[in-house]
Chain A
Amino acid sequence: MQLSPDTTVLWWWGPIPVNATIAFTWLVMAVLALGSYLITRRLRDDVSISRWQNLLEILVTALRDQIRSASRQEPGPYLPFIGTLFLFIAAANLFAVVPGYQPPTASLSTTVALAIAVLVAVPLYGVARRGLRAYLAEYLKPTVFMLPFNVMGEITRTVALAVRLYGNMMSGSVIGAILLGIIPFFFPVLLQVLGLITGLVQAYIFAVLAMVYIASAQAAQGDHKQNDTPGD
């Protein structure tokens, strides 16, 4: 039994092994990008729109609303990053109903990569909004001695984000595999349904947490909320 799709190497691209994680990520990316392209190439400004456009508009509007409520800011600059996080994780998890598919989010490498993306995005958004000096000054608060703890907080927060997603998705796959061995029929189906809900919830939690981190790093002076993260 494999715990990570990283170990399943599908083919070699020269010296580089293309494992299941990367391959299925490309699949998810292709579906998302191609679907978006097909739907959005014939957009209408009119009041009567196609049902697919309606679906995407509902999706985008919901994302913007969530970003707005989590950050109390206009969602414009954050939508591509946070929205992609949610859509990628949700799509990667939901495709798990397809037989033979291995969710890339069940790989710690993927979740670490996503967490690193958040780790990079937090200071970038902070600097873009408040300027480099004001952002760096946050690490020296309340005293300069807190600098190591603040830096450590950033890193552990990122690691927690990565491990949370990985653990949930991997455990879903592992529990499904174990139950398949004990009760071969019927029960794994229920678990699959539960897995779909869990997948969506994880995508939502990951995206909202990322938004909260970014927003808290941009919080005004004196509104220091590092490490104030809700558990799942």
Chain B
Amino acid sequence: MQVDWLTVTAQWVNFLILVVLLKRFLYGPIVRAMDRRQQTIEARIADARQKVAQAEQAAAHYQEKARALDEQKTALLAEARAVAAQERAGLVEHARREVESMTQRWRREVEREKAAFQDQLRRELGRLVIATARKALRDLASLELERALTAHFIERLQGLPEEEKHRLSDFGSVTVASSADLVADEREFLVDALTQSLGSGLTVNFEPLPDSALGLMLITPAYTLEWHLERYFEDLGAVLEAALTGAGQEGSGSRVE
């Protein structure tokens, strides 16, 4: 067991050289590389954490947005439903009004048609009644009827109050309008009767009365005395209409037993 001090020195130097070499080629590069990798990994982890945080934030943001959209959708849907219900109610109301208006219009139409029919019926009835009456009267006594009318008229004239007689005679002339063509003696009879009632010196003119079937008129500018058959027919028409209307109303409300 020897210690060769030359070798010891050489080995000592060798060892120091090896320390320097390994520090230069092994520890330094490896430790630096590991540190760099560590830093890279830490940076990546930090980056990943940041990205995760960003992603979470974005997810929260989108969830919030989705929730807001959902709420908005619900609100819009509710609003749309309300509007639709309102619209439907409006349409229903409109349709109801239209139906009501159509019903009213229809009723008015019916009423009008009914009135027209009643009117026509009345006219026709009146016409028929009058035609029948006229025919009956003519058949019975055509000439006698004119004479009876003249007599009745003169009777009425005579029965007038004095004041009205004066109003008839004030102008000095009267016009006699007759539905029938008066014969000469009838005219004479009439002139006599007028003169007797209203005073002498009265001019009497004769003219036809085309609108009437049977009638006689005494006309002055201030006063008119008349009698004609149409007046009776008008009264008869009024009575008929009253009777028909009453019968219609009763008929609509009555029950057949």
Contacts and interface: CB of A to CB of B under 8 A. Distances in A.
Q: Do A and B bind each other?
A: yes
Interface of A: 3-4, 6-7, 16-17, 19, 21-22, 25-26, 29, 32-33, 36-37, 40, 43-47, 53, 56-57, 60-61, 79-81, 83-84, 87-88, 104, 107-110, 112-114, 116-117
25 contacts: A3-B1, A6-B2, A16-B6, A19-B4, A21-B11, A25-B10, A29-B18, A32-B18, A32-B21, A36-B22, A40-B26, A40-B29, A43-B29, A44-B33, A60-B30, A84-B15, A84-B19, A107-B7, A109-B3, A109-B7, A110-B7, A113-B11, A113-B12, A113-B14, A117-B12
A29 B21 CA distance: 9
Nearest to A20: B7
Contacts of B41: 47
A33 B7 contact: no
Interface in B44-70: none
Nearest to B35: A45
B40 A116 contact: no
Contacts of B138: none
Contact of A60 (B5, B31, B36, B37): B31
A79 B23 CA distance: 9
Interface of B: 1-12, 14-19, 21-23, 25-27, 29-31, 33-34, 36-37, 40-41
Contacts of A83: 22, 26-27
A80 B29 CA distance: 12
Contacts of A57: 30, 33-34
Given A45-B40, A109-B7, A26 B19 contact: no
A44 B30 CA distance: 10
A116 B7 contact: no
Contacts of B29: 40, 43
Contact of A43 (B4, B17, B21, B30): B30
Contacts of B6: 16-17
Contacts of A79: 27, 31
B15 A113 contact: yes
Interface centre among A47, A83, A109, A116 (most CB of B within 10 A): A109
Given A22-B14, A112-B3, 11 more contacts: A19-B4, A21-B7, A36-B25, A45-B33, A45-B37, A46-B37, A60-B27, A79-B31, A84-B19, A108-B2, A113-B11
B7 to A, nearest CB: 4
B8 to A, nearest CB: 5
Nearest to B13: A113
Contacts of B16: 117
Contacts of A22: 7, 10-11, 14
A231 to B, nearest CB: 20
Interface centre among A3, A45, A53 (most CB of B within 10 A): A45
A16 B4 CA distance: 12
Given A47-B37, A110-B11, A114-B11, A33 B3 contact: no
A81 B27 CA distance: 10
Given A109-B3, A112-B8, A33 B22 contact: yes
A8 to B, nearest CB: 11
Contacts of B18: 29, 32-33, 84, 88
